[in-house]
């Protein structure tokens, strides 16, 4: 009986899963906690492994498992952009590459958890985001309380910053699965959605411009990069640690280069670099700094064409978002506002304090950079969106033709049928001799039909309504020249006009 019961239970669980039933509360809690703790454990393990490899490969460092495990906690918080202190000196300008990796890991884990739990409602997304943020906040607070030695972290940033990073990553990961994107499309104006998409495209283009500038500067300084590696990291362990440090700060350098091409430039301690200004200063021997110039060049303003090209790209992408040029300009404004806000966020994350030495502070003037980025997107983007898109033109009013019938849009054949059509008011009207071209001195009987009936039959002098209604049909049957629409055909010249009905004495009845 036991094997059969196991088979039944397995079959029932499978059928329930196929039917889309929601898991029980205990299963949901276990899955949520496991998913939220996964990025924390994975990130801590990766940081501890890197610290262990660097410490073991360093020529004059002493490897200690306990020391590596203690320093890995603040290192994990540094990956989430939590400021740390080394020997009492602040370390705020942290590498962005570990932060990007941690954000992507949390987003992927949240998406997998939402799919496993079959979450498809926005309210469920709130639960998922809350669990991920709460677990990361608790982990950061515990690490800040137990950290001791060379690396220390303050409790409040350790509690708040990891929760913010993990919450935004989890929301982005489950947005499509839980319908958050659909809710945003329902509540936001379509033009605003176009502007947000174009703003993301423009921000990516601005970062690409910074990457291109950094690549060109580094390619022109390859011998200097090799010399700095040789002088400051002679051994294999030191070279490995220097390489990790350089690669980790590459996204920071891209943001600084984007600030350079936007116009305001950036600052590294006493060194200040911009397209129109340069102020030299001493720098440490980090290979990444080999791309920095030693003096100002007159051709640097050429780099300003890159953000202008980003603005043209944004305007071109919005050239068909609306038929009205003014609406397209508003959409370009939304895109520029998003790019300005993104520059503020990225500039804040890429900069910070680095102790009290030569690199204090590392900063991009986020206020000026935000305004400059907005102008680079709004001005060329607005011009392209205005002139490259459709324009509404007023059509000249045409006076209606006097003889033309009602416009039916069916072509000339339909107009011919309209001309032959008899209006309802004329359908029951009996033509008089004046209308048919009869002589003026003859008087046609009004109450007699073509059958030859005279007025002496006893009918009243005024015709009844039935006579008016039946007259066209009777005439149509007797005379084939009458059209199907009920209109009397025009009399021909050869046709004899009806003679007036005679009275008993043979003379026309004048009283009638």
Higher model confidence: residue 184 or residue 256? 256
Q: What is the pLDDT of residues 386-426, one digit of tens each?
A: 998 887 655 555 555 555 544 444 444 444 344 444 444 44
Specify the pLDDT at position 353: 83
Secondary structure (3-state) at 135 = helix
Average pLDDT of the residues in 208-233: 91
Specify the pLDDT at position 373: 95
Higher model confidence: residue 104 or residue 465? 104
Peptide bond between residue 498 and the one before it cis (omega within 30 degrees of 0): no
Burial of residue 492 (CB within 10 Å: 0-12, 13-18, 19+) is exposed
Specify the pLDDT at position 96: 94
pLDDT greater than 70 at residue 498: no
Higher model confidence: residue 204 or residue 500? 204
Judged by average pLDDT, the poorest of 96-105, 194-203, 232-241, 405-414 is: 405-414
Instruction: Please say whether the beta carbons of 307 and 206 come within 8 A.
Output: yes
Using alpha carbons, select from 225, 196, 34, 57 the residue that is nearest to residue 128: 34
Cα 193 from Cα 189, distance rounded (Å): 6
Specify the pLDDT at position 52: 87
Higher model confidence: residue 125 or residue 400? 125
Cα 350 from Cα 95, distance rounded (Å): 8
Q: Sheet of 278-279: strands edge to edge?
A: 278-279, 271-273, 266-268, 362-363
DSSP annotation string for 480-510: TTS-TTSPPPPPPSSSPPPPPPB-TTSSB-S
Specify the pLDDT at position 111: 93
Residues, the chain, total? Answer: 512
Specify the pLDDT at position 186: 83
Higher model confidence: residue 362 or residue 423? 362
Q: What pLDDT band is residue 171 in, cutting at 50, 70 and 90?
A: very high
**DSSP β-ladder status, 278-279 and 271-273:** antiparallel
pLDDT greater than 50 at residue 462: no
Cα 289 from Cα 255, distance rounded (Å): 14
Cα 378 from Cα 335, distance rounded (Å): 8
**Three-state secondary structure readout of 56-79:** HHCCCCCCCHHHHHHHHHHHHHHH
pLDDT greater than 50 at residue 185: yes
Average pLDDT of the residues in 80-95: 87
Peptide bond between residue 361 and the one before it cis (omega within 30 degrees of 0): yes
Higher model confidence: residue 210 or residue 455? 210
Q: Which residues pair with 151 in a beta bridge?
A: 86
Query: 405-424 burial by CB neighbour count: b if 16+ within 10 A, else e?
Result: eeeeeeeeeeeeeeeeeeee
What is the separation, in whole angstroms, between the first and last Cα of the chain?
Answer: 114
Q: Which helix (H) or strand (E) segment is 109 a member of?
A: helix 96-117
Average predicted confidence (pLDDT) for the chain: 77
Helix, strand, coil distribution of the chain in percent, nearest 5: 60, 5, 35
CA dihedral 77→80→81→86, nearest 10 degrees, is 20
Higher model confidence: residue 500 or residue 301? 301
Cα 434 from Cα 439, distance rounded (Å): 7
| Residue 258 CA to its chain's centroid (Å) | 24
Instruction: Please say whether the beta carbons of 119 and 185 come within 8 A.
Output: no
The residues spanned by each domain of the chain are 24-187, 189-390
Judged by average pLDDT, the poorest of 4-13, 272-281, 465-474, 499-508 is: 4-13
**Up-side HSE of residue 496: CA atoms within 13 Å toward CB?**
4
Average pLDDT of the residues in 483-505: 45
Q: What is the pLDDT of residues 294-344, one digit of tens each?
A: 888 899 999 999 999 999 999 999 999 988 999 999 999 999 999 999 999
Instruction: Please say whether the beta carbons of 205 and 309 come within 8 A.
Output: yes
| Residue 144 CA to its chain's centroid (Å) | 40
């Amino acid at each position: 009986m036991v094997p059969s019961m196991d088979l039944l239970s397995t079959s029932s669980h499978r059928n329930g899963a196929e039917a889309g039933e929601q898991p029980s509360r205990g299963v949901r809690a276990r899955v949520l906690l496991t998913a939220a703790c996964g990025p924390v454990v994975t990130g801590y393990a990766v940081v501890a492994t890197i610290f262990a490899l660097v410490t073991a490969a360093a020529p004059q460092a002493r490897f200690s498992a306990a020391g590596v495990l203690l320093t890995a906690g603040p290192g994990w918080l540094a990956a989430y952009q939590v400021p740390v202190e080394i020997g009492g000196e602040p370390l705020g300008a942290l590498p962005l590459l570990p932060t990007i990796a941690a954000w992507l890991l949390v987003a992927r884990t949240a998406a997998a958890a939402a799919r496993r739990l079959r979450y498809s409602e926005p309210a469920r997304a709130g639960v998922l985001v809350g669990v991920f943020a709460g677990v990361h906040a608790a982990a950061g607070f515990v690490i800040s309380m137990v950290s001791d030695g060379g690396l220390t972290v303050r409790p409040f940033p350790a509690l708040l910053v990891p929760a913010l990073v993990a919450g935004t990553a989890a929301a982005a990961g489950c947005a499509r699965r839980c319908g958050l994107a659909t809710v945003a499309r329902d509540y936001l104006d379509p033009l605003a959605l176009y502007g947000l998409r174009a703003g993301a495209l423009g921000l990516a283009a601005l970062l690409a411009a910074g990457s291109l500038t950094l690549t060109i500067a580094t390619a022109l300084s390859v011998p200097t990069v090799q010399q700095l590696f040789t002088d400051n990291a002679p051994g294999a362990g030191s070279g490995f640690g220097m390489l990790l440090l350089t690669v980790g700060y590459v996204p920071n350098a891209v943001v600084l280069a984007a600030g350079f091409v936007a116009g305001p430039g950036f600052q590294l301690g006493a060194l200040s670099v911009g397209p129109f200004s340069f102020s030299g200063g001493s720098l440490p021997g980090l290979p990444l700094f080999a791309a920095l110039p030693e003096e100002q060049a007159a051709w640097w303003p050429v780099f300003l064409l890159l953000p202008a090209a980003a603005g043209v790209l944004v305007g071109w992408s919005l050239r068909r978002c609306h038929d009205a040029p003014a609406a397209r300009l508003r959409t370009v404004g939304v895109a520029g506002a998003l790019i300005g806000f993104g520059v503020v966020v990225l500039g804040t994350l890429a900069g910070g304090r680095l102790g009290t030495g030569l690199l204090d502070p590392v900063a991009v003037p986020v206020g000026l950079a935000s305004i400059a980025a907005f102008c680079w997107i709004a001005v060329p983007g607005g011009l392209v969106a205005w002139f490259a898109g459709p324009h509404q033109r007023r059509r000249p009013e045409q006076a209606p033709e006097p003889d033309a019938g009602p416009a039916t849009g069916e072509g000339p054949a339909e107009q011919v049928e309209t001309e032959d059509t008899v209006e309802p008011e004329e359908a029951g009207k009996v033509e008089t001799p004046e209308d048919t071209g009869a002589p003026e001195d003859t008087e046609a009987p009004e109450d007699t039909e073509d059958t030859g009936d005279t007025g002496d039959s006893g009918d009243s002098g005024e015709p009844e309504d039935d006579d008016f209604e039946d007259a066209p049909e009777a005439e149509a049957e007797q005379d084939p020249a009458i059209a199907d629409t009920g209109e009397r055909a025009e009399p021909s010249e050869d046709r004899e006009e009806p003679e007036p009905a005679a009275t008993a004495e043979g003379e026309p009845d004048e009283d009638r």
